[in-house]
Structure 1
Amino acid sequence: MSRSQWGADETKRDPHAHYAQGVAAIFIHHTDTPNNYRCADVPRTLRNLYTGQTRDRNWGDLGYNFLVDKCGNIYEGRAGGTDRPVIGSHAIGFNQGTVGIAAIGTFGPGTPVPAAMERGIAALAAWKLGLRGVDPTSKVRLTSTNDKSRYTKGTSATFNVISGHRDGFATDCPGEALFARLPAIRHLAAHLQGRSAQRPFGADPAGDLAGPASGQ
């Protein structure tokens, strides 16, 4: 679902998007919001997050590049073009050249992660990384740009190409339950990259961006 479809007020954000040279890694987050939502109501949640992150946190826009709900629907987050390497505000010290994907909900210990959500995250990661031919199961070295991360500014560290927010910052995000599912998400994303008959490698998952499932 595009920003216009979920009702982003474009007058609230910084009109100038910033870009990296490409996308080398993905950080997975959760929004730390209630799980008992209807997917049809997610646009309202996004508008609330948007207001909080632009006005209250002064991030200039939504910090996340994309968000995924429990029905597996994918939403455009930070403005600038879904197929472009937009620099977000989601992983302090490691925003450059990375993408932030946020699972809508809270995924602490013992919280089930919906299968549809996992598939949505994996499909999005497969597509986004596939634009540069990056294997979702590989590793990458990233260099910190901020002392507030887990690594002092200028320090390089090795990450999984699909990592959790906690890998780069002192936080519980994306929650213990979702963090535990990252290996499965990596392997599913890699599998999807190879299923050219169903979704061409590097193709935009347009169907996943179409909108929320009705009645959920």
Structure 2
Amino acid sequence: MSGVLLGPRPTASALAAPRRYTRAEWAARPPTKAATVLNRAPDHIVVHHTATANAADLSREHAFTLSRAIQSFHMEANGWEDTGQQLTISRGGHLMEGRNRSLAAINAGDLVVGAQTLGHNDHTIGIENEGTYMTEEPTEALWDTLVATCAWLCDVHGLDPQEAIVGHRDYNTTACPGDALYAQLPRLRNEVAGNLGLRRRVRQGPPPEPSGLPGPRHTFDHGPAA
């Protein structure tokens, strides 16, 4: 499975990046070790859910609190060096840098090695989407930012959204990103393709079957990551 786009795009690469909030803006703590940066682009974008409550608070302040909570859990409960994922989107549509050095790496066309998809952290970039999407779907604000973020990443790294955008369950035994959100991935690929001026793919067949796996066992449990 390759996510690299072969041949030139039909339109020039000039897609505006969505608003990103840096680690300094959400008051991240220092990592225990600087993240590893690989001098190559990711070949897939992995969509996750955070396995947290589907909060009604859509504010930026709530989004920043979420990022700090994820970092604390990853560092204290999991014993990791920092936040695992490279990017986080809140239900209010706020896009935040996760693991340290992630935004600089993306801007340089490189990849920060995360802790978000077990066995595949050296070639994928992960997006955590706030909420639990086993039965519910994301908010409109989150969805719009997810589309814009995936389009930006595909544009920067030269990826074909139809091949590059996957769910966590495509790599690991997990229900993540939830049955409802996973079923929307064909739509996500098509909308990203439209933003990039690429041909949309007509959806074939019925929606994917539910994973049959249990949902999150506890807050922040979205399956094997590191």
TM-score normalised by structure 2 residue count: 0.71
Partner of 1:68: 89
Q: Percent identity?
A: 29
Give the total of aligned pairs: 171
Q: Distance in 1 between matches of 2:131 and 2:39?
A: 28
Amino acid corresponding to residue 168 of structure 2 in structure 1 = H
Q: Distance in 2 between matches of 1:18 and 1:104?
A: 25
Q: Distance in 2 between matches of 1:58 and 1:37?
A: 30
Partner of 1:157: none
Could you list the runs of 5+ residues in structure 1 that have no partner in the other structure? 139-160, 196-216
The structural deviation recorded for 1:118 is: 1.6
Q: Distance in 2 between matches of 1:20 and 1:97?
A: 11
Could you list the runs of 5+ residues in structure 2 that have no partner in the other structure? 1-20, 199-226
Partner of 1:100: 126
The structural deviation recorded for 1:163 is: 0.6
The structural deviation recorded for 1:18 is: 3.1
Find the partner of 2:54 among 31, 35, 56: 35
Partner of 2:37: 18
Contact 2:63 2:94 in 1 (8 A): no
Q: Secondary structure at the match of 2:46?
A: strand
Contact 1:87 1:95 in 2 (8 A): yes
Contact 1:91 1:168 in 2 (8 A): yes
Distance 1:105 1:167, change over 3 A: same
Q: Distance in 2 between matches of 1:42 and 1:7?
A: 11
Contact 2:131 2:138 in 1 (8 A): no
Contact 1:119 1:185 in 2 (8 A): no
Q: Secondary structure at the match of 2:25?
A: helix
Q: How does 1:79-158 map to 2 (within 5 A)?
A: 79-82=100-103, 83=106, 84-109=110-135, 111-138=136-163
**Which stretch has the larger CA shift, 90-99 or 32-41?**
32-41
Q: Distance in 2 between matches of 1:132 and 1:113?
A: 26
Distance 1:171 1:20, change over 3 A: farther
Contact 1:68 1:117 in 2 (8 A): yes
The structural deviation recorded for 1:38 is: 1.4
Q: Distance in 2 between matches of 1:66 and 1:28?
A: 10
Partner of 2:24: 4
TM-score normalised by structure 1 residue count: 0.74
Find the partner of 2:174 among 161, 171, 174: 171
Q: Secondary structure at the match of 1:29?
A: strand
Q: Distance in 2 between matches of 1:68 and 1:20?
A: 25
Distance 1:194 1:5, change over 3 A: same
Amino acid corresponding to residue 107 of structure 1 in structure 2 = Y
Contact 1:20 1:86 in 2 (8 A): no
The structural deviation recorded for 1:113 is: 1.9
Runs of 4+ in 1 over 3 A off after TM superposition: none
RMSD of equivalent CA atoms: 1.6
Distance 1:5 1:34, change over 3 A: same
